[in-house]
Structure 1
Amino acid sequence: MPNLSYPAALDALYALVNYETRPPGSLQVFDLGRVEELLARLGHPQRALAVVHVGGTKGKGSTAAMISSILQAAGHRVGLYTSPHLHTFRERIRIDGQLISETDVIAGVRGLLPEAQALPGITTFEATTALAFSYFAQNQVDLAVLEVGLGGRLDATNVVDPRVAVLTLIGYDHTALLGTRLEQIAVEKAGIIKPGRPLVSAPQRPAALRVIRRTCRERNAPLIEVASTWRWERRQADLEGQWFDLKNAESLEELRIPLLGAHQLVNAATAVAATAVLRQDSLHVPPTAVVRGLADIQWPGRLEVLSRTPLLVVDGAHNPESAEALVRAVREYFTFRRAILVYGSLADKNHAVILRHLRHLSPRIILTRFPHPRAASLHDLQSAAQRARFQARWLVENVPLAVEQALAIAEPDDLVLASGSISLAGQVRAYWLKKEGTPFEEDPRRMS
């Protein structure tokens, strides 16, 4: 592949078994042995990494980004691996906040693709994870913060021996694969707990917490429960962010995060607890790094205000817990006469339950479909909206037209809220940034 271009490199990755576009029938298709063999052929790059491994259901991406930002503020060279992306594949792999370059994506794909193609069944996510490990190892990061892709026990990231693992709130998502009971889902999520390695757990429901405690006992893994060891109190909140105090044995006062919603305070406390474990393990993480790292966090598409006039907000909420948190935050932060909801999501989500939460905003609803092979059809979304008791519904074939219609019917004191998926949030962001002439990184086409 001497003349591989960036679009061709992405095409080669996406041409592998791609469960992001074609969902698997069961967890049985996932096999850590497969990704371990690929990594062995690449020289085991993951073994060179000091890892913070972040799993859970709600807030794991935000928490991973906060941990990375704090460690970077402490002077460490930090790799961050997350998924999915808003606009460009390159968002998934970063060092010190800088996206991997197109040149490095090409080099990484060129190096791993022959090995990946020689192994039957290697998936796009497995190859991308291997690419991230290799890139981080080659660039000698001090720490790598890895977000679990799906589940935990059989996720491709779960081949590492982390310095600390983190579980954010466990809830109901991917239930067709992970199980319909919270205990079943928690077992899969707790699969990232390693023998003897500390686990930091965000506040959990009792059923999930029982599984976490049992797994930690069985694996002799020290457990830090954020709910019982840390206290946080918000001082002030506005559209610029939140100011809060965070306390355990020591106090961190007047912290600021530029992210909205009480759930982000939980994520921040969890992130700080994880960095405290690293500090106890002799890593340099002074209080000033916590202050600066949280203040500098950039994580778009999460309760993000794109415009105040008209009031246009995007959020990637895609499960019941996220939708519930979104409704609370919208009520807290915004004053509006009427809400207009632009909703689109992936086909495997529980749309009726999500929409029942969002209905508490009493919105008019515009249903739309974004260009993704797994996007829910307008017919299915309409059926879910009917079950959620939405009275008036509009069906619009693409996201830009849906946003334009929402803005056209919005009065000056109305709120236009776009939610249901990170993919939808990315599409709405792209539409608005182009409309405003604001430059941003974007791939030549979406994943297919």
Structure 2
Amino acid sequence: MDYNEAKEFLNRLLDRERAVRPSYPDSLDEYREFLRRMGNPHNGLKSILVAGTKGKGSTAFFLYEILRKLGFKTGLYTSPHLVEVRERVRFNGRCISGRDFGRIVGKIAPHVESVGFRSVFETLTTLAFFYFRERETDYSVFEVGLGGRLDATNVVSPCVSVLTDISYDHTHVLGKRLRDITREKLGITRKNIPLVSQAQSPMVRRYVREFFHGDVFFVGKDEKVEIESISMDGVKFIYRGEEFFIPIPGAYQAMNAATAIEVVIRMGLDFDYKNVKSALKKAFWPGRFHIISKNPLIVLDGAHNLKSTKVLVDNWERVTGESPVILFTAMKRKPLKRMLLELKRIADEFVFTTLPLKRALGIDLLKKKGEEAGLKSKGFGSVNEAWAYVKSLNRPILVTGSLYLVGEVLKEEGVSPCRNIQRIDR
């Protein structure tokens, strides 16, 4: 297969996935058997699993950048992608090539066909296993897709497990109680393997200790993260007596970076903080308070649940006092009205749009919820129209509600994180 053929195969698989069954399994047994038939490509990978509700992608990325700077051959697997699917699989600073992507999907496809069904996420996870094994990675960092216990990434044997902030999201799958959500995410832990967790709320910390009886370190609780300054250029913070800078604004990103630092410490690696600082200083993760223009100010942020929306609003108020027009859409099963009320704290004008996805909310429902929240709004049936309109206003813009929306805006700007992220004015 070439790259385009591989993408076509994945699209057909996605159509079949929607028709055959829900995308979340009730066991990993079938997937393990699928991997066994292909020679268990995941076995032997020295892996790190990163789960959580918010910040897991950023934390995984920071850890990947640090390990690379320390001289390790490092792989990174994340989801979802913003513009092109190759973004999900990276090795030593580059996305997987289209040629390698097509070749490996071509290797996996007959096995998918022979068993009748495997999800797109499982197929891409398998691709990452094969690619990292081919590249002989020293470490492979996996961002968990959903939950933890039953996620396809959880077939690996991690040398350390990582939990970022846990809150309510995907409750139709993970459960409506924080206790249930925490237990699902703790499924990535192993006996006698260290767990590095962000500070969490007191309630979640209690659940972590209830369900996990091994070595756990709470970043922000057992060791403080001190914010020195935040600006549009990034955040400066102190952790373990050392000063660090990351080029992404937000106190929460300092927590994510500190978590990555602590993971390296818990792994027992011999390192110089100078290399860690150098790695973080250049670590840019698109789609997270992502400034693509400063005049007028345009920010893209994939906040897609209530807690991440609150954090976004707090960060906006801290970094800039300007009132933006907000380009917004969301997926189903989100606390939409509460998210909009949070965003109303910083904006007086909203523009709603929708996406060509089964889970995407329609314009009519978005406008109805906007009216209930007392918002002044317009609606457009395509991102292309909505983006053209908000840009014509020549005022600050905040794009949020969905990482998929952020990806569509990047496409409108002709930007791909795999090819030309340097074109973005950051």
Q: Same fold (TM over 0.5)?
A: yes
Which moved further from structure 2: 166-175 or 238-247?
Answer: 238-247
Contact in 1 for aligned 2:86/2:418 (Cα 8 Å): no
Query: Does residue 1:67 correspond to 2:51, yes or no?
Result: no
2:37 matched to which residue of 1? 41
Query: Does residue 1:302 correspond to 2:302, yes or no?
Result: no
In the alignment, which of 340, 361, 369 is matched to residue 376 of structure 1?
Answer: 361
In the alignment, which of 257, 263, 275 is matched to residue 268 of structure 1?
Answer: 257
2:423 matched to which residue of 1? none
1:386 matched to which residue of 2? 371
1:335 matched to which residue of 2? 321
Q: Which amino acid aligns with 2:254?
A: L
- Deviations along 1:81-123, whole A, 9 cap, x unmatched? 0000011100000001200001101111111111122223311
Aligned equivalents of 1:67, 1:275: Cα separation in 2: 8
Contact in 1 for aligned 2:195/2:217 (Cα 8 Å): yes
Query: Do the aligned partners of residues 391 and 225 (structure 1) sit closer, same or farther apart at CA in structure 2, a change above 3 Å counting?
Result: closer
Aligned equivalents of 1:335, 1:24: Cα separation in 2: 47
Which moved further from structure 2: 252-261 or 300-309?
Answer: 252-261
1:234 matched to which residue of 2? 227
Contact in 2 for aligned 1:22/1:373 (Cα 8 Å): no
Contact in 2 for aligned 1:17/1:122 (Cα 8 Å): no
State the SS of the aligned residue for 1:158.
helix
Aligned equivalents of 2:383, 2:17: Cα separation in 1: 20
In the alignment, which of 403, 418, 422 is matched to residue 422 of structure 1?
Answer: 403
Query: Does residue 1:78 correspond to 2:71, yes or no?
Result: no
State the SS of the aligned residue for 1:243.
strand
Aligned equivalents of 1:173, 1:393: Cα separation in 2: 26
1:404 matched to which residue of 2? 388
1:58 matched to which residue of 2? 54
State the SS of the aligned residue for 1:316.
coil
Aligned residues: 420
- Deviations along 1:382-439, whole A, 9 cap, x unmatched? 232233x1331101111122122122234xxx421110111101111222346xxx99
Aligned equivalents of 1:358, 1:319: Cα separation in 2: 12
Q: Where does 1:70-149 land on structure 2 (aligned, <5 Å)?
A: 70-149=66-145
Aligned equivalents of 1:189, 1:439: Cα separation in 2: 28
Aligned equivalents of 1:62, 1:402: Cα separation in 2: 28
Q: Which amino acid aligns with 1:101?
A: S
Query: Do the aligned partners of residues 23 and 320 (structure 1) sit closer, same or farther apart at CA in structure 2, a change above 3 Å counting?
Result: farther
Q: Which amino acid aligns with 1:390?
A: G
Q: Percent identity?
A: 35
Aligned equivalents of 2:74, 2:146: Cα separation in 1: 22
Gaps spanning 5+ residues in structure 2: where?
421-426
Q: Which amino acid aligns with 1:270?
A: T
Query: Do the aligned partners of residues 271 and 440 (structure 1) sit closer, same or farther apart at CA in structure 2, a change above 3 Å counting?
Result: closer
Aligned equivalents of 1:155, 1:326: Cα separation in 2: 27
2:239 matched to which residue of 1? 246
Aligned equivalents of 1:439, 1:382: Cα separation in 2: 32
- Following superposition, the deviation at residue 380 of structure 1 comes to 2.0
1:13 matched to which residue of 2? 10
Q: Which amino acid aligns with 2:295?
A: T
- Following superposition, the deviation at residue 74 of structure 1 comes to 0.3
Query: Do the aligned partners of residues 19 and 360 (structure 1) sit closer, same or farther apart at CA in structure 2, a change above 3 Å counting?
Result: farther
Aligned equivalents of 1:260, 1:22: Cα separation in 2: 41
Q: Which amino acid aligns with 2:216?
A: L
- Following superposition, the deviation at residue 75 of structure 1 comes to 0.4
Gaps spanning 5+ residues in structure 1: where?
443-448
Aligned equivalents of 2:347, 2:133: Cα separation in 1: 50
Contact in 1 for aligned 2:390/2:397 (Cα 8 Å): yes
Aligned equivalents of 2:402, 2:20: Cα separation in 1: 16
State the SS of the aligned residue for 1:47.
coil
- Following superposition, the deviation at residue 5 of structure 1 comes to 2.6
Query: Do the aligned partners of residues 240 and 137 (structure 1) sit closer, same or farther apart at CA in structure 2, a change above 3 Å counting?
Result: same
State the SS of the aligned residue for 1:380.
helix
2:424 matched to which residue of 1? none
Q: CA RMSD in A?
A: 2.1
Query: Do the aligned partners of residues 254 and 439 (structure 1) sit closer, same or farther apart at CA in structure 2, a change above 3 Å counting?
Result: closer
- Following superposition, the deviation at residue 312 of structure 1 comes to 1.1
In the alignment, which of 298, 301, 316 is matched to residue 315 of structure 1?
Answer: 301
Query: Do the aligned partners of residues 375 and 23 (structure 1) sit closer, same or farther apart at CA in structure 2, a change above 3 Å counting?
Result: farther
State the SS of the aligned residue for 1:213.
helix
Query: Does residue 1:196 correspond to 2:192, yes or no?
Result: yes
Q: Which amino acid aligns with 1:376?
A: L
1:213 matched to which residue of 2? 209
Using the size of structure 1 for normalisation, the TM-score is: 0.89
Contact in 2 for aligned 1:433/1:439 (Cα 8 Å): no
1:182 matched to which residue of 2? 178
Aligned equivalents of 1:371, 1:358: Cα separation in 2: 24
- Following superposition, the deviation at residue 331 of structure 1 comes to 0.5
Aligned equivalents of 1:226, 1:50: Cα separation in 2: 23
Q: Which runs of 4 or more aligned residues in structure 1 lie more than 4 Å from their structure 2 counterparts after TM superposition?
A: 17-27
Aligned equivalents of 2:160, 2:391: Cα separation in 1: 45
Aligned equivalents of 1:13, 1:330: Cα separation in 2: 37
Using the size of structure 2 for normalisation, the TM-score is: 0.94
- Following superposition, the deviation at residue 23 of structure 1 comes to 11
Aligned equivalents of 1:351, 1:343: Cα separation in 2: 11
Aligned equivalents of 1:19, 1:203: Cα separation in 2: 40
Contact in 2 for aligned 1:202/1:227 (Cα 8 Å): yes
Contact in 1 for aligned 2:354/2:361 (Cα 8 Å): yes
Contact in 2 for aligned 1:26/1:177 (Cα 8 Å): no
Q: Which amino acid aligns with 1:427?
A: E
